[in-house]
Amino acid sequence: MTRALLIVDVQNDFTEGGALAVEGGDAVASAVSAHLAAHSADYNVIAASRDWHDADSDNGGHFAEEPDFVDTWPAHCVAGTEGGEYDPLLVTDAVTHHVRKGQGVPAYSMFEGVTDDGATVAAVLSERGVLTADVVGIATDHCVRATALDAIAHGVRVRILTDLIAGVGAEPSEAALAELAHAGAELMTSAAAFESDSE
């Protein structure tokens, strides 16, 4: 079965100490690295996304001095800054496609970004014949949710690896997971995902 791993926004500004820090972000970075060490060979595509917002711009209204934390946010993940880089606990050696999104516009889903050579994630998955995707990263209630919903919309069977995600808020994260399950995503731990594969 042709499978992808979609690693969403495991960046300094979304982990502890960052501009929009998510509690548990560093733990996710470490856990995703461990998962890659054990299972990178099980994936045909390993795509990692980063918010990569323009400096000196509100990025289409995405940045605001008085953000509402729903549609507007403090400045974060600005291109070329430390905050925009991957969390150092995330080992990216196995990543096959680096995706940048939000360059001048609001963007939550990895599918709104492009790879270093300008390809969309949908095109990469289609070219490689990807039928299933495991989605991990930050944040459950925002960019993980949007990425998984877009993957489902593109006809990809999605598994959310629940031990490899972190959300901003407990209640919205639970709501996001419920929404994803209703949309057809499977929710499981990374261990359970690969136990089921070996049966």
Per-domain residue ranges for the chain?
A: 3-198
CA atoms of 140 and 11, how far apart (whole Å): 14
Helix (H) or strand (E) run with residue 192 in it: helix 190-198
- pLDDT band, residue 70 (cuts 50/70/90): confident
Query: What is the per-residue pLDDT for 25?
Result: 97
The answer to whether residue 199 scores a pLDDT higher than 90 is no
Q: CATH homologous superfamily for 3-198?
A: Isochorismatase-like (3.40.50.850)
CA atoms of 23 and 38, how far apart (whole Å): 25
Query: What is the per-residue pLDDT for 195?
Result: 82
Number of CB atoms found within 10 A of residue 41's CB: 8
Q: What is the pLDDT of residues 28-64, one digit of tens each?
A: 999 999 999 999 999 999 999 999 999 989 999 999 9
In the chain the first and final C-alpha atoms are separated, in Å, by: 14
- Is the previous residue joined to 175 through a cis bond, with omega within 30 degrees of 0? no
Q: Which residues participate in catalysis according to the annotation?
A: 9, 101, 143
Q: What is the CA radius of gyration of the chain?
A: 16
Q: Quick one: tokens of 167?
A: 């959300």
Residue with tokens 């959310």: 160
Mean per-residue pLDDT over the chain, rounded: 95
